[in-house]
Structure 1
Amino acid sequence: MIIRENTINSKRIYEGRMISLRVDTVELPDKKYSTREIVEHPGAAVVVPMTDDGKIIMVKQFRKAVEDSLLEVPAGKLDKGENPAICAHRELQEETGYVSANMQYLFSFYSSPGFSNEIMHLFIATDLTQGEAHPDEDEYIEIVSYELGQLIEMIFQGKIKDSKSIIAIFAASQYLGHNHLGQQ
């Protein structure tokens, strides 16, 4: 049985640079009505950049929404109609300065489908060449690198709290044939 909600009415109440917000009136399967607040987002590319010596390049940046500096994999918003692989290359270079000769798509996932349509496209980047980072003018980023096992420990220690980064790190571990602790 497929459960659906039919949209009766949809109204955009905010349109910003990163997101838009709409309110939908929906008909539920039992014919009652409800309201859904939907954050619209154009999607993002998420990159796990791996150096030749097996380290993963991470970025640390302040996130106003949680009032904390978070350790994250590089990622960024898709431009309208942009191919996620192009976005992945651009964001990797902008945030870290690295350029990848081998950008491998893994899978896509929704960041928070209970209230947002944002879809994230995950890539592993290898064959890296270091260059100069060019973050957006309002981004202040510290670039750091860790071994995969260290990152997995940091997740369980509560030191990495960003969901896309947690997904990306465990996916990279699986992709590389490591166990849940990041060991081969």
Structure 2
Amino acid sequence: MTKEKIVQTWRESEEQVVWQGRFIATKQRGNWEYVSRARNIRAAVILAIDEADHVLLVEQYRVPLKRTCLELPAGLVGDSDDNADEVATDAARRELIEETGYDAARMEVVGEFYSSPGMVTESFTLLRAHGLTKVGPGGGVDDEEIITHRVALADIGAFVAARRAEGMAIDVKLLMLLAPQIIARG
């Protein structure tokens, strides 16, 4: 059996937009296909842990997965014409209130991360919410139907395992909460 060498044509090729919608664009550069956020929109992801060492998680139905997903609260930064110049800290605070009903006295930027760099250009700013106060019902906007969970960090592994056993999808960003338990298993 002969092994064919794959020619990496992306090195010499210009980026081509194959299709673009309101929020995403599919692109191709040589033989490499990928997806980008339209208009350079990025996301803000919030790690919200209260004074009693409980973390706020949300679950919501995700159309691409065709099922509910357990996630950290998150949302798009500057996703409409009204807030095109929005900064990540403002978006994070807005999304935390909308999704969970909690506000934060302070948002600390942890850093910029890429969720799946082999196929998506999207980045997200991870922010740590400090000084949480319950200010509303949460649940999202429009028809999001978000359910908020306040989970003790000590119970996070069991909580995620139980949701996975129910058939819920688990967002990769929850690995940061599970890592200490995974590493401890050795």
TM-score (norm 1): 0.77
Shift of 1:166: 2.4
Kindly provide the amino acid, as one letter, of the partner of residue 89 in structure 2.
Answer: A
Matched, 1:119 2:123: yes
Q: Distance in 1 between matches of 2:132 and 2:75?
A: 19
> 2:22 matched to 1:17?
yes
What is the Cα-based RMSD across aligned positions, in Å?
A: 2.6
- Specify which of 165, 168, 176 is matched with residue 174 of structure 2: 165
1:113 Cα deviation from its structure 2 partner: 0.5
Structure-2 change in CA distance of 1:111 and 1:50 (3 Å)? same
Mapping for residues 1-184 of structure 1, pairs under 5 Å? 6-25=11-30, 35-41=31-37, 42-79=41-78, 80-132=84-136, 133=138, 135-155=140-160, 159=164, 161-167=170-176, 169-170=177-178, 179-180=180-181
Query: Going by fraction, where is helix more abundant, 1 or 2?
Result: 2
Could you report, residue by residue, the CA deviation over 1:34-90 in whole angstroms, capped at 9, with x for unpaired residues? Answer: x11121122211101122222111111111211221221100112144322121111
Structure 2 unmatched ranges of 5 or more: 1-9, 79-83
Task: Report if aligned partners of 1:149, 1:182 keep a CA contact under 8 Å in 2.
Answer: no
Gapped runs of 5+ residues in structure 1? 26-34, 172-178
Aligned residues: 163
The one-letter amino acid paired with 1:23 is Q
Shift of the alpha carbon at 1:182?
11
User: Alignment identity in percent?
Assistant: 28
Tell me the equivalent position of 1:32: none
> The residue matched to 1:85 in structure 2 has which SS?
helix
For the 8 Å contact 1:149–1:181, the answer to whether it is kept is no
SS at match of 2:55: strand
Q: Is the 8 A contact 2:109 2:127 kept in 1?
A: yes
TM-score, normalization: structure 2? 0.76
